[in-house]
Amino acid sequence: MEKVGIGIIGCGNISGAYLKAMASFPILDIRGVADLNRALADAKAAEFNVPAKNIDELFADPKIEIIVNLTVPKAHVAVGLQALDAGKHTYSEKPLGINFAEGKKLAEAAKAKNLRIGAAPDTFLGGGHQTARTLVDSGVIGQPVGGTATFMCPGHERWHPNPAFYYEVGGGPMLDMGPYYITDLVNLFGPVAQVAGFAVAPRKERVITSEPRNGEKIPVHVPTHVAGVMAFANGAVVQIGMSFDVAGHKHVPLEVYGTEGTLIVPDPNHFGGEVQFFKKGGSFETQELTSPYADGNYRSIGVADLAHAIRSNRPHRANGSLALHVLEVMEAFHTASESGRTVTITTATERPAPLSESLVDGRLAK
C-alpha cells in the first residue's frame, strides 16, 4: 500500500511518543517536523532521524497528506484550519479545540473542503480497550446500567517541565484527561445524551515543583476539580470525577456495570492493561486480551488508521465526529455547573468500528 506523507507541527513533550510509535506503522512516511521554536524541531529531527522544516514548508509539501498537530490546546483549531486551507487532512492531539464552538468551526471547514479531521485520544484502539469492547458487544454484562470514570491527582506541576498551559483556558483536568475516559466510554456505550455536574477551582494559583521552573507560581484560570454524571443514549448512567486537587484515592480508572456483570476496564491513558469481568453470582476473573496493541505505547495508531482509511476509502476511527461529541460533553460539565441545570448534548456520533486486526501489515477490521 502506498505510504501516506506526514508532517508534524509541535515538537513539545508528547512529540517523542508519536515519533517513536510512528515507526511501528509502515504506511506512515514522516516528511518533516516543525515548531515555532526551531531549536525544538531540530532536536527532535536529530533524535528520530527525520527532516526539520519550517511550518510553511510542511503546508507546501505536495507529498504531505496529513498534518499531525501536536501544538498546545489553544492552537489546535488555528493550526488545523491552516492545514485544511493547505489541502491537508489534519489529526490533532486532544482536545479537538478549547471549546465546542471552535471545534465545530473546524469540523465544518473540513466538511466544506471534503477533507478529514481526527484527534487523540487513540488509546481506545489499544488491546485492553478493544477486548473490553468485544465483551460488551458479546452481551456478557447484560443490559448496560452505568459505570464510574475517575482521574484524580495533585496536579501536573509536579512533573511537567512547562505546566502553565494545564491551568490556562483550554486546560484543566476535564479537557486534559477527560478525552481519554469519555472517548473510551463512547467506544463502549455509544453517544452521551445528557450531562449534569459541578466544576470548582479550590486554588487560584499553583506552585511548580518540577524543573526547570521549580518554585515559580502560576495562575489558575480553569476549574481543577470536576464531578458529574453522564446519561448515555443507551440508558447507562456513568459517574465521572476529574481532578488536579486530590492527594490520593483508591478508585480504579474505569468500571462498567450491566445487569449481568461488571467490567474493570484498563486505564484509558494506556493501550493495554488488565481487563477483569465479574459475572453476577461469581467473582472477578482476568480476561485474555483478544486484540492487538496492548503491549506498548502506540500513540499515533489513530494517525495510522486515518492513513489506511484514506487509502482504502473507509471511515477512520479516531474521527472528527467522535472528537467533537466528546468536546461538547466535556464543555457541558462546566455549563451545567454554571447554570445549575442538566445539559442536553446536541451532537451524536457512531461508535467507531472495532479494531481486531493489525494495522502493521495492512490487514484491517472493516
Residue-by-residue pLDDT tens, the chain, 366 positions: 899 999 999 999 899 999 999 999 999 999 999 999 999 999 999 999 999 999 999 999 999 999 999 999 999 999 999 999 999 999 999 999 999 999 999 999 999 999 999 999 999 999 999 999 999 999 999 999 999 999 999 999 999 998 998 999 889 999 999 999 999 999 999 999 999 999 999 999 999 999 999 999 999 999 999 999 999 999 999 999 999 999 999 999 999 999 999 999 999 999 999 999 999 999 999 999 999 999 999 999 999 999 999 999 999 999 999 999 999 999 999 999 999 999 999 999 999 999 977 776 544 433
Q: Where in the chain is the domain with CATH 3.30.360.10?
A: 127-286
* Burial per residue of 46-78, b for 16 or more beta-carbon CB atoms within 10 angstroms, e otherwise: eebebebbebeebbebeebbbbbbbbbbebbbe
Which of 271, 213, 263, 221 has its CA nearest to residue 238?
Answer: 263
Can you give the pTM of this predicted structure?
A: 0.95
Q: Which CATH superfamily is 127-286 part of?
A: Dihydrodipicolinate Reductase; domain 2 (3.30.360.10)
Whole-number Å distance between alpha carbons of 72 and 93: 8
Which of 89, 33, 50 has its CA nearest to residue 307?
Answer: 89
Q: Which residue has the cell 466528546?
A: 326
Q: Where in the chain is the domain with CATH 3.40.50.720?
A: 4-123+298-319
Q: Which architecture characterizes domain 4-123+298-319 according to CATH?
A: 3-Layer(aba) Sandwich (3.40)
